[in-house]
Structure formats: structure tokens, C-alpha cells
Amino acid sequence: MCDLEHNVQLKNVQQGEVFNYSTILLKGDLANPCCGGKFRIVSDNSQSVPFSVAIEKAVGSEGESKQVIRKFRILLRLSPGEHQYTVQYCSTQTCVRLVYTAPERRFTVAPVYIICKGHSGRYQSSENDAHNDSEHACRKITLAIELLQCLYAEKLHEHGFGRKTFALEAPCRPFYAELQWAQSTTMTEDALWHRFAGELVHRKHYDMERVKVVGFLSSTHFEGISDGDYSYENIRKRTTGHAALGGGGLALFGTGCLYTWPSTLETVCDALLSEQPIDCAKLLDDSNYRRTYGGCFATTLGSVCHEMGHTFDLGHTPDGSIMGDGFDAIDNVFVGAAGGRALGANGPKRLIATKPGGLAGRLTQLKRPGEVLRQRLEAKQNDGVFFAPTSALTLSYHRWFNDARKGGGGVSMNFDNTTRTVSCNGSSIVLVELRSTDSGMMQKCWTFQEQQQSRPISFTLPRLANLPDLTLFAVDTEGSILKIDLNSINQA
């Protein structure tokens, strides 16, 4: 204990708040932190609770008479039911009562660890890592998907839709593929995606009508850099079994950077803040040129978030959002400014792959957010990581983000090629987008908010010169999705 007058205030949760996912994010202010002060969290049965904490770093000088306020973020795992959680710091504490209730969901997400025939199931890691087997891989993957449950919920909450998120079918488990390991090393990521998507459908391990699969290929292999060229292009040339593609019912990823991922909640913030340099001569670096373990974890987790967005029918957006080029900074969500860099500082511009093959298209150069958007985000005290409004609106009505009682009641949408009109049967329209067929980039959109007196049951597209190059995307109030390639429409 010390003589300083501390105070801990939680800013983003309410007493009695109900959560439908177990790993949550607490944001707050800490007054007068001390050198020896540490956080501890206990529940109402006096048991310690798993958590991870990040406190922002000091900036500039601190006057002796001025109270020092530091922001903190805590990742906390809730126990089922209603419990009081006491957040302790040095000599002070604050209590909050929170409720965790598992959601009733028909539509779920299943993380899997894909092991090809002939492969050991061990992912590539440092030479002294004896814990790179399938069991530890599944722990890391389950934790990562739980973090993304939290992230999706927080980002929808910031848009005013409540903390909606997807539900897990089960913790990550191995999936033993029919594909031979030797053959997989010769395949492109597009070919790997189609192969495993086909296997999942054919072998019927999951009901692909109601389950989105997030797959991680155990046999990703990086041969190392010996010529001094550490560009991402050269790194990719020396990597086999790599993928970062999402669409339809599958998001597929390599495991070349799984060695940077934590396996316990308590170590998440430290993993994101890790400045340990990557030995690029031996290990894969996918950190958007940050070349640290923390940067690699952040970028690859952000990539999973982005590609999962495609499985939830999100297109690309021309901004610095998660579905733009903003996913590299995903660490800001969980550690805020504790990393010591400006919020929203995403590093170099990058090329982002869209969905594979026939699902979307090719590589697209994405732009930075405009100054107006940046100022609006800062005014809202955001962390610089966000979904564009159209993406958030789509997710808020998506069947994977709502309980089993919503949607699926035979409601459908139709498109009349002659009149170019979207019409609903028993529902109304929430969103209509026109996306580039090649890149999946949103070009134009029309939204119909709940505040309006009545949403339309039909919508006619205006006449546009480039309709043959676009795909129509629409969402209704029941979560039905309509996608139409407008290439077939004859211009009048």
C-alpha cells in the first residue's frame, strides 16, 4: 500500500449489464498510479478472475500538485450467471455487477485447426518451443476468436446497436483433412480455400447452412530469408501453406505467425505490447513491417477479423476501417495508447486481398480515412479501429448476430431485372449497396434507418453507367441477404 489517493472508475459498463459472450473489455480511468500498484480482480466468491490489463504510458512531465489520470483497459473473463466483480488497485477498489448468459443461437462460428494428411500437426515456431502442438494451437485459436467476439461487440456498441456479436459453436478442434501435406505445399491460397471449402461441404462435419468455419492450416511453412530482402513480397515467396481469405462459409488462414499468439487471457495485453524482435531469417513476419511479436500478433489477428467480416457478407469500404486498411491497428482496441503510438497509426498502406476467386475478386488498393472522419472518430474518443456505418448496419441485422428467434421465417427478397427493383416479402429494406464485382469495394449505398417512420418494402436502383461492373447487395429487417451480379442487366 502507499500514501497516494487512488481512484478507479469504469467508464464503459453499467451495473447489471448483460453480456452474451464471456470475454469482455472494461475501459476506465486510474487516478495517481504508483510504482508498485497492480490490478487484481476478484468475484463475489472471493476467487481471482482471469484478466489482462494495459495502462497507458505517461506523456510529458507530471506536476506534483496535479492529479495524474491514466486510462486503462482490462480484458476480463466472466463466469456464467450474475456476479459482482471487484477491481482492486493498491489501496482502492470499485465494484460492478455483470451478467453473462450464453446466447440461444442457430447460426454459429466454428474455429478449426486443419491438419493435412502426413503432417504432424505442429505449427512452425522457434526452435525451443515445445508447445507448438495441436492442443496448444487450438487454445490460441479459441482465445483469438473470443477476443474477436469482444471486438465485434464493442464496435457495434459504438455505433449504437448494442453489444451484438457472433456465437461460438464450440472451442477450436482439429480437422483432419483428406488433402496430402505434400500437395498442399504446391497450392495457392485461392486453391487451398476452394479445396477445404469443398471438403467441409462434402464431409458434413458441420451444417454449412448455419455454421461459418474459421480454419487455420497447421502446415504453413516459412523457409527463412538469407538474401537480406525482408520485403513482404519476398517473405510470401518463401512461404507455403499460407492463406488469408474469407467468404461464404469459410475464412482460411495460415499459422506462420501463430508463434506470436498468446494461449491464456492473462498474457493477451503483454503479447500485443511485446517489442521482442522477429528473427526474419527463421520465422515468418506478417506485422506490416513492425517486425515485432506484438505487431505480428496484432496484424494477423486483424486479418482474421477482416476476413471473418467477409464471411458475414461485408464488402470492402474505402476508408481506414476494419473492412478497409485499418485492421493492422487492432491492438488499439485492447491496449489503447499503452503501446506508445498514436491511435489509428496503421503503418504503411497495404494491398488487401478480397474474397477468393468467384466470391469476390482481386487485390485492391485501399485509401486512408479523410480528415473529417478522423476528427469525428477522435471526438467520439474512439481507439481508431472501427467498422464503417454500412458494415455495422449489416452486422446488426445479420442472422449470425441475432438470437435464434430472429429471422429464418421464410422471408425473402427478390430483384426484378427489368425494373431494377429490390422487393421484400413480409419484411422491409435496411440497406442497399452497389459493390465493384472485381474487388468487392462499396461504390454506392442507400440506408434506411429505424428512426424513419417506415422502411420501404421495395427500392429501385437509379440508372448508372457502370451497372454491368457492379454487384447488388441488400439486407432486410429479418437478416435476409440478397446478392445479384448486375452484369446480366441490359442497359436501356
**Concatenated DSSP letters for 200-269?**
HHHHTSS-TTTEEEEEEETT-EE----SS---HHHHHHTEES--EEEETTEEEEE-TTGGGS-SSGGGHH
Task: Say if residue 178 is in the same domain as residue 294.
Answer: yes
* Residue with grid cell 486481398, as numbered in its chain: 353
pTM: 0.90
pLDDT at 337: 81
pLDDT at 1: 61
Q: pLDDT averaged over the chain? A: 86
* Residue with grid cell 500514501, as numbered in its chain: 3
DSSP class of 358: G
Task: Say if residue 117 is in the same domain as residue 245.
Answer: yes
pLDDT at 382: 65
Positions of the chain with pLDDT under 70: 1, 58-66, 339-382, 404-411, 450-453, 465-466, 488-492
Q: Select from 337, 361, 386 the last residue of a domain.
A: 337
Dihedral over Cα of 20, 315, 232, 358: its sign: positive
Q: How many CB atoms lie within 10 A of CB 375?
A: 11
Task: Say if residue 137 is in the same domain as residue 162.
Answer: yes
Whether 161 is covered by a domain: the verdict is yes
Task: Say if residue 127 is in the same domain as residue 209.
Answer: yes
pLDDT at 410: 54
Residue 172 CB contacts under 8 Å (≥ 6 apart), including other chains: 111, 112, 113, 137, 138, 139, 141, 142, 145, 216
Q: Select from 337, 354, 379 the last residue of a domain.
A: 337
> How many distinct structural domains can be found in the chain?
3
Task: Say if residue 160 is in the same domain as residue 180.
Answer: yes
Three cell numbers written together for 371:
480528415
Task: Say if residue 53 is in the same domain as residue 27.
Answer: yes
pLDDT at 452: 52
Report the DSSP beta bridge partners of residue 470: 436
Task: Say if residue 264 is in the same domain as residue 160.
Answer: yes
SS3 (DSSP) at 43: strand
Whether 311 is covered by a domain: the verdict is yes
d(CA 387, CA 312): 13
pLDDT at 229: 85
Whether 235 is covered by a domain: the verdict is yes
pLDDT at 488: 63
pLDDT at 360: 33
Whether 346 is covered by a domain: the verdict is no
Instruction: Give the range of the structural domain holding residue 441, as residue numbers without chain letter.
Output: 411-485
Q: Give the DSSP per-residue string, 425-492.
A: ESS-EEEEEEEETTT-BEEEEEE--TTSS---SEEEPPP-TTGGGEEEEEEETT--EEEEEGGGPPP-
| CATH at residue 429 | 2.60.40
Task: Say if residue 188 is in the same domain as residue 333.
Answer: yes
| CATH at residue 90 | 2.60.40.10
pLDDT at 97: 97
